[in-house]
Amino acid sequence: MADADAHFTGTEVDWREVARLVLTSREMDRIEEEELVPARKVLYQFSARGHDMAQVLLGLRLRDGDAACGYYRSRPLLLALGVPLADALGSGMGREGGYSGGRDIGVVFNYPNPGGAHALPMSGGVGAQYTPAAGWAQAIRYKAEVLKERQADNIALVLGGDASCATGGFWSALTIATTQRLPLLMYVEDNGYGISVPSTYQTPGQDIAANLASFRGLTIFNGDGTDPVEAARLIDAAVSHVRQKQAPALLRLTVPRLEGHSYQDTQTYKSEEVVAAEWARDPLPKLKAHCAARQIGDSDWAELEQRVAWEVGQAREDAEARGVLPVDQVADNVFYSGKPSRVGGGAGLSLDGTHDEPRPDGQRINMVTAIRRVLEQELSANPKMAVFGEDVGPKGGVHAVTLGLQERFGVARVFDTSLNEEGIVGRAAGMAMAGLLPVPEIQFRKYAEPATEQINDIGTMRWRTDNHFAAPMVLRVPGGFFKCGDPWHSQTNEVQFVHNPGWLVAVPSNAEDAVGLLRMALRGHDPVLFFEHRAMLDDSWARRPWPGDGFVLPFGRAKKTREGDKITIVTWGAMVPRCEAAAEGVSADVIDLRTLMPWDRTAVLESVRRTRRCLIVHEDLRTGGFGAEIAAVVADEAFLDLDAPVARVTMPDIPSPHHPSLLEAAVPSVERIRAEIDRLVGF
């Protein structure tokens, strides 16, 4: 347990400013609870009463280059960072401007703050704020050590309630920050409840600081967040420690939650005695008394209250005068459309000098070599790029794709991570927002499941922040069968990523396409899921000559690998060579989509209208697989051109079986595909 400076008296704090901001927070809560929510102008409201003073004290300690990632009760921190009051109120009312232009709930905030600390986009999911903050902290270290930028003693701050300490995100960020010695301050504002559940259900002994007292690499500060002097002293000590030592700390302050979890919460689960005890700990009267001792007496306090009420009233008028986002703009900013986000992105190299037609050179190489060579070239040319994941360092990855990269580029740029996909992808989000180009690897497709929340949040970031923030990255994910199968290493399930708004999805079937798509992904402006099929990494069919150091392949451009006029076969990944073999002797268009988001609807529909038949083949399960989307589009837009029903050959709705004979019976085989071709051609 750290011992903060016992002589700290709070004289370093501008207490008048603290009082002004706390009173502002209280007045905004009051207006929402008493007027805006009853009038249904605000639909989701979370009071910060009781949490406000400590947050304000903390926010005033942040500066340019820092970043904070909060949660739904963090508005006082934003006020301390300087967020306009009309934005804060207007966002709650879903009006234009503000945090999201009405796309997201008002308490789910973000605040790009040039010249000050950014408030990173929060998530609506509890605990999801921790690992992106760890990623920002890692970017601080990376910029100092790799990019040789001037060390500004910056920090990352993350806020969470005591209930969030039970989440995987909390423990993942704690592991990352302590093992890597990152400048991350984890602030736990402990109000004793997670909605209605007391902290006895969340934390053994109800004190996360005590439980972590022996945690290696972590300095802990623990105390009362309602006492002005103690709170200011502990906050000063914690922030100073992280800045000066560039090492992590945990700050736990106990505070009361003076209202329900949200406006609708009546707190019937609390006794009258508990509620009275919480109000007895209200930091506002304590703050007023402390300010009175510092020549901010009753008249000054009343003047502050009057001034704050006027300012918040004006902000309300400004907010209510704002319109609602025009409905024709609701789909804007899902993907990059030419206008850079205010924070994040721009770390990829330019496309100048590239070409979209392959220029074959040398002997045929496998996909492993092709992918590794692109990573090596881009790492050499782009110091902002970092590759990381489980076992990607000295081992070179379980599929050998990153073999030798750490030896060449060093442990700061190609590094192993703890075994935690939430931490791998979440930290990538923070690094991307900080202006780096992260290339995280998930070892096998199935292992992406723990990172699902982060993947979703990254994809929606540009849209839900109205292009304030973006986190471009390339998430490499191997998957699919290889010699044998099993439910844990052989899943494809690409459709889940396609269904996440904001992600581009590439599924190359061969070395040439892998080169072009990966280089395009690394130089783009959106997050990309780059699927590396295990069966094709060293497959002889997938080998191709090197297509040139400047070869890029635009997303959404399919390729005909065989041409004919009797049937259109649409496929991707490991099914492409099987479809080619099955179509032997048949006049068929075989279309390799190469990317699923976006997919080349034009090429497919043009072919189907000419051949008048469509067969879709994929390795994923039949129900809800991406083939169903293609079939629906063909039925919608080319129904009158069809001479046979749209058909699919897929895996049955079962996990991938292990024994090779069982696997071969489940995965679409050349024989099954050929039988369906013959059926449709003869229809």
DSSP string, 190-214: E-SEETTEEGGGTSGGG-HHHHTTT
What is the model's pTM?
Answer: 0.95
Least confident window among 96-100, 514-518, 540-544: 96-100
According to DSSP, the β-strands at 528-533 and 504-506 are: parallel
The CA distances from residue 273 to 48, 279, 280, 363, in Å, are 21, 10, 10, 80
Question: Once rounded to an integer, what is the mean pLDDT over residues 140-168?
Answer: 93
- Quote the percentage of the chain above a pLDDT of 90: 94
Helix (H, G, I), strand (E, B) or coil at 69: strand
For the stretch 218-232, pLDDT in tens is: 999 999 999 999 999
For the stretch 477-504, pLDDT in tens is: 999 999 899 999 999 999 999 999 999 9
- Quote the percentage of the chain above a pLDDT of 70: 98
Instruction: Tell me which long-range contacts 238-245 makes (C-beta under 8 A, separation of at least 24).
Output: 238/2, 238/4, 238/185, 238/187, 239/58, 239/61, 239/155, 239/185, 241/2, 242/155, 242/183, 242/184, 242/185, 243/153, 243/154, 243/155, 243/183, 244/153, 245/219
d(Cα 378, Cα 355) in Å, to the nearest integer?
Answer: 16
Q: SS3 for 269-297, per residue?
A: CCCHHHHHHHHHCCHHHHHHHHHHCCCCC
Helices (H) and strands (E) in the chain, counts: 22, 22
The CA distances from residue 419 to 166, 176, 447, 480, 488, in Å, are 18, 10, 10, 21, 16
d(Cα 8, Cα 494) in Å, to the nearest integer?
Answer: 56
For the stretch 285-313, pLDDT in tens is: 999 999 999 888 889 999 999 999 999 99
- pLDDT confidence of residue 74: 95
**Does the pLDDT of residue 510 top 80, yes or no?**
yes
d(Cα 133, Cα 186) in Å, to the nearest integer?
Answer: 9
For the stretch 121-131, pLDDT in tens is: 999 999 999 99
Question: Quick check: is 489 catalytic?
Answer: yes
d(Cα 336, Cα 75) in Å, to the nearest integer?
Answer: 29
Contact 181, 208 (CB under 8 A): no
d(Cα 557, Cα 359) in Å, to the nearest integer?
Answer: 18
Model confidence at 11, pLDDT cuts 50, 70, 90, reads low
Percent helix / strand / coil, the chain, rounded to 5: 40, 15, 45
For the stretch 640-678, pLDDT in tens is: 999 999 999 999 999 999 999 999 999 999 999 999 999
Which residue type is seen at 136? Answer: W
567 Cβ partners below 8 Å, 6+ apart? 583, 586, 587, 588, 589, 611, 613, 614, 615, 677, 680, 681
d(Cα 287, Cα 54) in Å, to the nearest integer?
Answer: 11
Question: Once rounded to an integer, what is the mean pLDDT over residues 402-423?
Answer: 96
For the stretch 342-374, pLDDT in tens is: 999 999 999 999 999 999 999 999 999 999 999
Catalytic-role residue among 118, 489, 525, 533: 489
- pLDDT confidence of residue 483: 87
Least confident window among 137-146, 294-303, 400-409, 447-456: 294-303
d(Cα 245, Cα 268) in Å, to the nearest integer?
Answer: 45
- pLDDT confidence of residue 442: 96
Model confidence at 6, pLDDT cuts 50, 70, 90, reads very low
Output the average pLDDT for the chain. 95
- pLDDT confidence of residue 281: 95
d(Cα 508, Cα 576) in Å, to the nearest integer?
Answer: 10
Model confidence at 151, pLDDT cuts 50, 70, 90, reads confident
d(Cα 253, Cα 237) in Å, to the nearest integer?
Answer: 13
d(Cα 635, Cα 646) in Å, to the nearest integer?
Answer: 7
d(Cα 45, Cα 600) in Å, to the nearest integer?
Answer: 43
- Higher-scoring residue by pLDDT: 151, 222: 222
Which residue type is seen at 75? Answer: R
According to DSSP, the β-strands at 414-416 and 385-389 are: parallel
For the stretch 562-581, pLDDT in tens is: 999 999 999 999 999 999 99
Record the tokens describing residue 668, joined without a space: 């679409």
Question: Once rounded to an integer, what is the mean pLDDT over residues 154-170?
Answer: 96
**Does the pLDDT of residue 283 top 50, yes or no?**
yes
Q: Closest by alpha carbon to 370, among 497, 553, 217?
A: 553
Q: Closest by alpha carbon to 443, among 536, 534, 543?
A: 534
d(Cα 177, Cα 135) in Å, to the nearest integer?
Answer: 9
Record the tokens describing residue 102, joined without a space: 């009405």
Q: How far apart are the first and last CA of the chain?
A: 78
Which residue type is seen at 478? Answer: P
> Looking at the DSSP assignment, which residues form a beta bridge with residue 437?
385
- pLDDT confidence of residue 136: 98
